[in-house]
Structure 1
């Protein structure tokens, strides 16, 4: 759980970095090229800050939540016992987001912190007296910035492309179209991939968790598989090519059990994880609080935790019912009567067994309402308070296989696509499919990547975001809600920004 050269996410040299969370602020790096960036290690110490900012898209914070709330796999009901109700989140869940939504506003700040931090680091690398020695590190920083722009484009569509380390209050950024942002991300990632090392040429354990060519190729595959949504033009062949770039290395494979990817003991030794964020809360280097937020209070007894979880994040019956009983992935959803590992009932202080039921009331749910997702298992975890040291996973090889399957199916090769989907299903002992539809592919992705931040853009791509209904979300959604509104406070700070249509 380390970054090469001893750099940990969140442990930075005393460097001021741009975080450009508001477009009217003049924040910029104060690194002096004449006194800093003499070695690659010094350069990487600042790049680590970009990794840390980007990790929020995988952590259980607003950049992750803002997408999850809008799907049929995530709900945070208000509790009758007090707490958790937030109308901002309910509005996202019901697809009724307004420009003043505070969850979206916080997510915007966090996403643009990635971009602002990267802008400052990139500028300082480029003007460094040792810039010629930092080609790979500069590519790394630009790829990380492109990841940030990917999420900005995915969530808000039409956003400013701004690459300077400081904002001129007299010349504020203007809005670019989603298609223009798409092109910028594509160009930046393709250029970065040329200068990044391949997983085949690095010591996998020592280099972990830094970006490789293959991590960028996987992100490009994600960009291309959604290209028709983002740019108006389908790019299935390009998605297929990027998937093959990863597969043909021969360096990746599915772990024996899907849960292995999320254990604290796997990390840099995983053959499946392509891009993860290194976490070590004991050294103030990030935190993983999925257990804290996603488990009931009685999970403290069930898993022998050093704290009582907050009984918050849950999932619906729609997500649970996607799994066959024989599918090992279903074991990661906790539902019905709860027991200890030895089968003994999990009892509260009154001797009553905890029975988890579907959410019936999103305003005042009982404490046992909502099925729970055990995404990051607490096995062999080192705790720092309520934070675990499981690394946060962003990209997995299973995604590459399923994106390739989708690209093949959409271009007429259903036979090979079926083989790839069954490869993923077989790992979890799910029944092998004998034929394939686009609905099969969408549902397989929902089963495989529950709570990994994929579902919203998958539902948009397959159309179910607009046509589907599920618990509490009972009406269809107009197409314009496929992107969120630009936050009111951002437009107030920068009148050059244009609000998205119909908001």
Structure 2
């Protein structure tokens, strides 16, 4: 079996337990034993078994309408166009990309439930472990506190002012804490538990919180400290990044795309992952979310994809050097042809699926519903029904073209696959740490060191000339290319003061652009309306009242 024996096996066990529970029909079955604190939490294996419930909370990362979706759709990377009668969904998707956030958008409620569901599970297990007189419990409590800190970090980044709950037995509804209070709490938790966490990179720690994963969370807190608290912490961010790079057991993979294979447990670069499995730990649905309906025949999928998530054209074009490809700014079909060239473009274009599409037998794939080509040269497929993914997006509403937009190809798709993917979902990766160190050093004035680090990432990408100078613009662009759809782009744009600027692609389609300045209330999502109704002690973020 691939991957980790412990957490992976525990997740499988949780899935099997659900199956066996539903098959029980004898409601008066005699109970011969009970699991209690006295007779269960005695060995490391029993503690790890209990930890599975906390880690399984991460399973919501890889599917539609949750935390990943709100971060990516609100960035300049990803959009879901309304394709006639498909994907309007009451306008909630357009709200996200056009920065017209409303508290009743169900994506915010889904994200909140994901985050605080994970926090609640961590609190429950911490409470259980604290009640034990067992020397093994301290290390596992530290692991749970680090995982809880991750959920709180994501919540604070997305919603800013959030409740902080650590007592599982508390009966009173929690009030809202400021973003600075949340930042301080997360930092304090990490400072306390990092010395307690394991440092090994092996089967016993795969998919679990280690010192290096917790250091990455802290590095990211420091990297964004000026946004979160008003006070920059570049030197502290650099120190954590240096420790991970110099002392951690990680190295860049020779090939970028190998970090995202179906069997990517062997990556030397991935610091923290969630180990999905198409049978026992499902929920990684990108194959459904991005591929065209007709793509079922390309991969012999057991289900028909949804033809949803697309890449913003300008973001796709950022991978192609116009000085080497003079036609890239011309008609879309020249750009599309260039994307198939070798030796002239960023090797990380493996992130995308573009160009003519084929059945698994090699024959041309046909979409009978494809829009006809028109005289403008940009609307429709010039080949007619044969399906071609083109980077060009004509509009995001109301008649987005069915074949428009490069599709997300970052994770390898399985031939004969299901709606659930088995690739392990990458949460933290060494290249992010290297680029974070580069940025911290750049902010501190060490531009030559920063330049060398960025060029290390460009060299691995292949076919790219090294930068001769480093600017905020090309540093942000390099982060974008390397970290595509890894839930960092919205955060990066805010930190670089580019979020929602006038150049925002499709941000105000068919209406005046909503341009907002750095520090705008739109840098935070609204507290979901159902949470405010359920807990009057919560306060809505400014600008959404």
Identify whether the pair has TM-score above 0.5, normalized to the shorter chain: yes
Distance change (3 Å), C-alpha of 1:382 and 1:122: farther
Distance change (3 Å), C-alpha of 1:443 and 1:342: farther
Describe the superposition over 1:200-249 as per-residue Cα deviations: whole angstroms up to 9, x where unpaired.
Answer: xx5x1343122211111111111110111011110101110111111112
3-state DSSP class of the match of 2:271?
Answer: strand
Of 113, 121, 126 in structure 2, the residue corresponding to residue 109 of structure 1 is 113
Distance change (3 Å), C-alpha of 1:442 and 1:55: farther
Is it true that 1:160 corresponds to 2:160 in the alignment? no
Q: Is the 8 A contact 2:389 2:404 kept in 1?
A: yes
1:270 is aligned to 267
Is it true that 1:475 corresponds to 2:523 in the alignment? no
Deviation of residue 422 (structure 1)?
0.7
- Paired with 1:343 and 1:488, the residues of 2 have a C-alpha distance of 50
3-state DSSP class of the match of 2:209?
Answer: coil
2:278 is aligned to 281
Deviation of residue 477 (structure 1)?
2.2
1:465 is aligned to 499
Deviation of residue 60 (structure 1)?
4.5
Q: Is the 8 A contact 2:284 2:422 kept in 1?
A: yes
Describe the superposition over 1:268-297 as per-residue Cα deviations: whole angstroms up to 9, x where unpaired.
Answer: x21000000111122x22332111111112
Deviation of residue 81 (structure 1)?
4.9
Q: Is the 8 A contact 2:276 2:425 kept in 1?
A: yes
3-state DSSP class of the match of 1:11?
Answer: helix
Is it true that 1:376 corresponds to 2:417 in the alignment? no
Of 192, 213, 217 in structure 1, the residue corresponding to residue 215 of structure 2 is 217
3-state DSSP class of the match of 1:7?
Answer: helix
1:76 is aligned to 80
Distance change (3 Å), C-alpha of 1:220 and 1:476: same
Q: Map 1:309-324; keep pairs closer than 5 Å.
A: 309-324=305-320
Of 147, 151, 162 in structure 2, the residue corresponding to residue 148 of structure 1 is 151
Distance change (3 Å), C-alpha of 1:112 and 1:355: same
Q: Map 1:43-442; keep pairs closer than 5 Å.
A: 43-83=47-87, 85-130=89-134, 132-168=135-171, 171-199=172-200, 204-249=202-247, 251-267=249-265, 269-282=266-279, 284-324=280-320, 325-338=344-357, 345-348=364-367, 352-357=385-390, 358-363=392-397, 364-379=399-414, 383=417, 385-429=418-462, 430-442=464-476
Distance change (3 Å), C-alpha of 1:184 and 1:31: farther
3-state DSSP class of the match of 2:247?
Answer: coil
Q: Is the 8 A contact 1:215 1:274 kept in 2?
A: yes
1:496 is aligned to 537
Q: Aligned-pair RMSD on alpha carbons?
A: 2.4
2:376 is aligned to none
- Paired with 1:53 and 1:336, the residues of 2 have a C-alpha distance of 37
Q: Is the 8 A contact 1:398 1:424 kept in 2?
A: yes
In the alignment, structure 1 segments of 5+ residues that lack a partner are: 16-29
Distance change (3 Å), C-alpha of 1:420 and 1:293: same
3-state DSSP class of the match of 1:490?
Answer: helix
Q: Is the 8 A contact 1:297 1:310 kept in 2?
A: yes
Q: Is the 8 A contact 2:162 2:179 kept in 1?
A: yes
In the alignment, structure 2 segments of 5+ residues that lack a partner are: 19-33, 321-343, 370-383, 508-512
- Paired with 1:86 and 1:414, the residues of 2 have a C-alpha distance of 47
- Paired with 2:136 and 2:189, the residues of 1 have a C-alpha distance of 20
Deviation of residue 382 (structure 1)?
7.7
- Paired with 1:220 and 1:468, the residues of 2 have a C-alpha distance of 32
3-state DSSP class of the match of 2:427?
Answer: strand
Distance change (3 Å), C-alpha of 1:488 and 1:197: same
**Looking at CA atoms only, which structure, 1 or 2, has the larger radius of gyration?**
2
Deviation of residue 73 (structure 1)?
0.6
1:8 is aligned to 10
3-state DSSP class of the match of 2:78?
Answer: coil
Deviation of residue 299 (structure 1)?
2.1
Deviation of residue 349 (structure 1)?
5.9
Deviation of residue 83 (structure 1)?
4.2
Describe the superposition over 1:313-347 as per-residue Cα deviations: whole angstroms up to 9, x where unpaired.
Answer: 11111111110252111232223434579986444
Deviation of residue 424 (structure 1)?
0.6
Segments of 4+ moved more than 6 angstroms: 340-344
Q: Is the 8 A contact 1:74 1:314 kept in 2?
A: yes
2:323 is aligned to none
- Paired with 2:85 and 2:298, the residues of 1 have a C-alpha distance of 21
3-state DSSP class of the match of 1:395?
Answer: strand
Aligned length: 479
- Paired with 1:346 and 1:382, the residues of 2 have a C-alpha distance of 17
Distance change (3 Å), C-alpha of 1:150 and 1:288: same
Q: Is the deviation greater in 335-344 or in 301-310?
A: 335-344
